[in-house]
Amino acid sequence: MKYISTRGQAPELTFDEAMLTGLARDGGLYVPESVPQMSAAEIAALEGLSYEEAAFRVMRPFIGESFADDEFRAIIERAYAGFGHAARAPLKQLDSGHFLLELFHGPTLAFKDFAMQLIGQLFQTALARRGERVTIVGATSGDTGSAAIEAFRGLKNVDVFILYPHGRVSEVQRRQMTTPSESNVHALAVDGDFDDCQARLKDMFNDFDFRDGVRLAGVNSINWARVLAQVVYYFTSAVSLGAPHRKVSFTVPTGNFGDIFAGYIAKKMGLPIDRLVVATNQNDILHRCLSGQGYHKGPTHPSVSPSMDIQVSSNFERALFDAYNRDGRAVAQLMDELKAGGFEVSQGAMEALRESFDSGRASEAETLATIKATLAQSAELICPHTAVGVKVADEQRVAGVPMITLATAHPAKFPAAVEEASSVHPPLPPRMADLYDRPERVTRIANDLAALQDHIKGHIGA
Ligand SMILES: *Cc1c(COP(=O)(O)O)cnc(C)c1O
């Protein structure tokens, strides 16, 4: 299995090389050269398996020779052992045709644990075998950073630096990043917004001297291994509702387009998905683009669903790559135009995107109203990101096709918004009830490439 860059100018890599590299050297994102297929019989055979065994079967064809079967099975076991629910990704029913896929039973209470816990174990195994050490730098709007720190804390061959926008993450998110005491964990509060953090991260990857000097590795949602880990729960949930004999649809609260892109891969592998619905908050650049208005950056408006407050949706590049018939040069040009503010999507590419994706948006008021209504109607307390999904899903459902909305975080991760909407204070699960008592450790830093690079160089292996 070979991986190629969406901009067509970087070397082809194996799975483990693409994972350790993150962003391709031409600025592009790695994608599999071709998507492995699962037959209807293979999909049907997933029914009743443990989450771990289903994960092995779905991901194995993408791994190539990078990990032996026994090794890969053991990695998956370790990755999900710390989850607080035996089903890992349980389905809950909201009403007759609408289901919630609960993806928040991992150690940091958001779906990012599914990918990050796996990637931590994959990195550890690959680096130990190579006798190498890497510096992981990530940018986060809140959930990626806490998930990365939780996955890499204390690992021997890794330093992890996380850039988050100062003052723009929830207190639970911040504390999950600033309270781990391991010396290989470094939380950096940047004076800027999430797009600034993501831009500085890209700058670091494009500075090859720095990149090679500190052995930079990325675990942001552009890392292919993360997308792959997220493909699994599309299969397990669809199968439990009758796939491959029945079609299902998914609605996905979307920011960086990683989670929904995993659904697109599941569909390409052969899972009978009817519709994939992109749900955005008031930062609705993806919804506008998928509605034919081009992709044009604007200011980011802080919302009650901060993990989706994004203008540059990194993984959308992967969808564009396919929509432009895998023409790396065309994608590279669009991304150049994006730096200057935005781009128009060609008519052919627009048709391809509309073939795969529907979209909708939820305003702040609609998000809060949905939290309240869902509690009243279905006795479920949902987080604001999930509420964006539920609102859009309700608009887009069609009779006869079950709709699965991805519940991307636990309500206790965003207590202020949940309480404002519902008057109910969502308690933290008992296993992390002392989060507010643990001491914090964080460095406040300017939105400046040189300052960040100096700090990182000075704190590796500390
Ligand atoms: C990251 C995140 C999202 C957005 O996921 P993408 O893969 O970036 O589209 C939605 N909800 C929550 C809670 C998140 O942490």
The reply to whether ligand 1 has any atom less than 6 angstroms from the CB of 110 is yes
Q: What secondary structure letter does DSSP report for 252? A: E
| Spatial separation of the C-alpha atoms in residues 184 and 370, rounded to whole Å | 40
Predicted pLDDT of residue 22: 85
Half-sphere exposure of 99 (CA within 13 A, CB side): 20
The reply to whether ligand 1 has any atom less than 6 angstroms from the CB of 306 is no
| Spatial separation of the C-alpha atoms in residues 53 and 278, rounded to whole Å | 29
Task: Please give the tally of structural domains in the chain.
Answer: 1
The CATH number covering residue 315 comes to 3.40.50.1100
The kind and range of the H/E element at 437 are none
Domain that includes residue 317, residue range: 91-107+225-422
CB-based burial label for 399 (10 Å; 0-12, 13-18, 19+): exposed
- Whether residue 254 lies inside any domain: the answer is yes
The reply to whether ligand 1 has any atom less than 6 angstroms from the CB of 108 is no
Q: Which atom of ligand 1 is nearest to 385's Cα?
A: 11
Q: Which of 114, 24, 14 is nearest to 314 (CA)?
A: 24
Instruction: Say how many Å lie between the CA of residue 114 and the centre of ligand 1.
Output: 12
The reply to whether ligand 1 has any atom less than 6 angstroms from the CB of 278 is no
- Whether residue 361 lies inside any domain: the answer is yes
With a CB cutoff of 8 Å and minimum separation 6, the contacts of 263 are 231, 234, 250, 252, 273, 276
Instruction: Say how many Å lie between the CA of residue 254 and the centre of ligand 1.
Output: 6
- Whether residue 229 lies inside any domain: the answer is yes
Instruction: Say how many Å lie between the CA of residue 253 and the centre of ligand 1.
Output: 6
Beta bridge partners of 139: 163
Q: Which of 408, 410, 414 to mutate to test the pocket of ligand 1 (most atoms within 8 A of CB)?
A: 408
Amino acid at 262: A
The reply to whether ligand 1 has any atom less than 6 angstroms from the CB of 150 is no
- Three-state secondary structure call for residue 192: coil
Rg (CA), the chain: 20
- Whether residue 349 lies inside any domain: the answer is yes
Which CA distances in Å does 278 have to 146, 328, 389, 390?
24, 24, 8, 11
| Spatial separation of the C-alpha atoms in residues 142 and 147, rounded to whole Å | 9
The reply to whether ligand 1 has any atom less than 6 angstroms from the CB of 384 is no
Q: Which of 100, 109, 112 to mutate to test the pocket of ligand 1 (most atoms within 8 A of CB)?
A: 112
Predicted pLDDT of residue 218: 84
- Whether residue 319 lies inside any domain: the answer is yes
Q: Which residue minimizes the CA distance to atom 2 of ligand 1?
A: 307
Instruction: Say how many Å lie between the CA of residue 169 and the centre of ligand 1.
Output: 13
The reply to whether ligand 1 has any atom less than 6 angstroms from the CB of 220 is no
What DSSP string runs through 52-119? HHHHHHHHHHHHTTSS-HHHHHHHHHHHHTT-SSTTSS-EEEEETTEEEEE---STTSBTHHHHHHHH
| Spatial separation of the C-alpha atoms in residues 140 and 148, rounded to whole Å | 10
Instruction: Say how many Å lie between the CA of residue 125 and the centre of ligand 1.
Output: 27
The reply to whether ligand 1 has any atom less than 6 angstroms from the CB of 254 is yes
What DSSP string runs through 156-169? TTEEEEEEEETT-S
| Residue 107 near residue 131 (C-beta atoms within 8 A) | no
- Whether residue 77 lies inside any domain: the answer is no
Q: Which of 102, 103, 111, 283 to mutate to test the pocket of ligand 1 (most atoms within 8 A of CB)?
A: 111
Instruction: Say how many Å lie between the CA of residue 68 and the centre of ligand 1.
Output: 31
Instruction: Write down the catalytic residue from 2, 112, 267, 339.
Output: 112
With a CB cutoff of 8 Å and minimum separation 6, the contacts of 314 are 29, 198, 220, 221, 222, 256, 257, 258
- Whether residue 334 lies inside any domain: the answer is yes
Q: What does the pLDDT profile of the chain (462 residues) look like in tens digits?
A: 999 999 999 999 999 999 998 889 899 999 999 999 999 999 999 999 999 999 999 999 999 999 999 999 999 999 999 999 999 999 999 999 999 999 999 999 999 999 999 999 999 999 999 999 999 999 998 788 999 999 999 998 999 999 999 999 888 899 999 999 999 999 999 999 988 998 999 899 999 999 999 999 988 888 999 999 999 999 999 999 999 999 999 999 999 999 999 999 999 999 999 999 999 999 999 999 999 999 999 998 999 999 898 898 999 999 999 999 999 999 999 999 999 999 999 999 999 999 999 999 999 999 999 999 999 999 999 999 999 999 999 999 999 999 999 999 999 999 999 999 999 999 999 888 899 999 999 999 999 999 999 999 999 986
The reply to whether ligand 1 has any atom less than 6 angstroms from the CB of 308 is yes
- Whether residue 141 lies inside any domain: the answer is no
What DSSP string runs through 291-330? III-EE--PPPP-SSGGG--SS-TTHHHHHHHHTTT-HHH
Place of tokens 């408006």: 301
Q: Which atom of ligand 1 is nearest to 257's Cα?
A: 9
| Spatial separation of the C-alpha atoms in residues 90 and 105, rounded to whole Å | 9
For this structure, is 112 an active site residue? yes
The reply to whether ligand 1 has any atom less than 6 angstroms from the CB of 113 is no
Q: Which residue minimizes the CA distance to atom 14 of ligand 1?
A: 307
Q: Is 0.85 topped by the overall pTM? A: yes
Instruction: Say how many Å lie between the CA of residue 308 and the centre of ligand 1.
Output: 6
Instruction: Say how many Å lie between the CA of residue 256 and the centre of ligand 1.
Output: 7
Cα of 228 vs its chain's centroid, Å = 10
Beta bridge partners of 403: 98, 249
Q: Which of 168, 173, 283, 385 to mutate to test the pocket of ligand 1 (most atoms within 8 A of CB)?
A: 385
Structure tokens at 444: 């406040």
Predicted pLDDT of residue 316: 98
The reply to whether ligand 1 has any atom less than 6 angstroms from the CB of 253 is yes
Structure tokens at 218: 């990325």
The reply to whether ligand 1 has any atom less than 6 angstroms from the CB of 409 is yes
